[in-house]
Amino acid sequence: MNIKLHTPKSLKSGSGLANLKQFLMSIVATSISIILTFGTAYFVDKNKKENEKLEIAKMIIFDMDQTIKKIQANDSLFDSVCQIQLQVAQNPACLDSLRLGLVDVANIGMIKFSETTERVFSTSIETFNTIGNANFVDAATKFYICRQSYKDDIVGAISRDLEEHSILMSPKALFQFDLAEYRLSHHNYLRLMKQHRNYCMQLLDISDDDMKEFAERQVIDDLDALKESDDSLSKAWAKEFFHHMNIVNQANQQYKE
């Protein structure tokens, strides 16, 4: 017995139910298309915003790293000048042979930081919104406050002291410098800035490898290649300066006598 299945008349083309079926299928297809379109756009936009957030965060952390690198360079300078001060305190006559090393005090007082990233971070509400992490913003703000305090309390203070006391000329003037206190403050500021920097890394799960990759993409005005020749030039001028001042001071002393 052969059984033939026939499409009900109600579903045949042109019937009311067939039109309803087509209409419903069209709605479903349209809905799926809308979901796919807007869903894909949402995830693309979300991924783009996440990348933008990480790039801005890395830019800020990179600026922190450059600051820390410069401040760490002062470690050896502070150690050197503090040792000279101790030696002169124990034997004032040795100042003449150690005087050239005190040029490092002036180098500490001349340190400069780029403030471009800090200005972008602190003046743009869009930057805050893009990062979208209040704890990160707070830690970065504290870092820049520390850096400003370092500039005021150490770099600026040393520069002012150099203007008031010619520490290169006499033991008495050298002893007016609170070098040990400056060095202690230097290490405290450096420790705090490292803490803020590392906390920022943790908050956004940024690794050292991520920062290394980011740093390789940056164009930096790196003067390290010129450092050796610059140092030689500075020491040559300093030597000539001391020689000149010694002769003038001796002549001046004889004139007073």
List pLDDT tens digits, range 130-185: 788 889 999 999 999 999 999 999 999 988 888 777 766 678 888 888 889 999 99
Q: Tell me if 104 sits within 8 A of 190, measured CB to CB.
A: no
Confidence of residue 245 (pLDDT cuts 50, 70, 90): low
pLDDT beyond 80 at 94: yes
> For residue 38, what are its two tokens?
């807007």
Give the model's pLDDT for residue 228. Answer: 45
All domains in the chain, ordered by first residue: 51-219 (1.20.120)
Judge whether 136 and 57 are in contact, CB under 8 Å: yes
d(CA 140, CA 135) in angstroms, rounded, equals 9
Locate 140 and state its tokens.
Answer: 């970065």
Give dist(CA 23, CA 195) in Å, integer: 63
Among 95, 103, 75, CA closest to 186 = 75
Crossing angle (nearest 10°) for helices 74-90 and 16-72? 20
Residue partners of 80: CB distance under 8 A and separation at least 6: 101, 104
CB 206 within 8 A of CB 58: yes
The reported pTM is: 0.68
Contact 150, 189 (CB under 8 A): yes
Share of the chain above pLDDT 90, in %: 26
Residue 231 has pLDDT above 60, yes or no: no
Residue 212 in contact with residue 61, Cβ under 8 Å? no
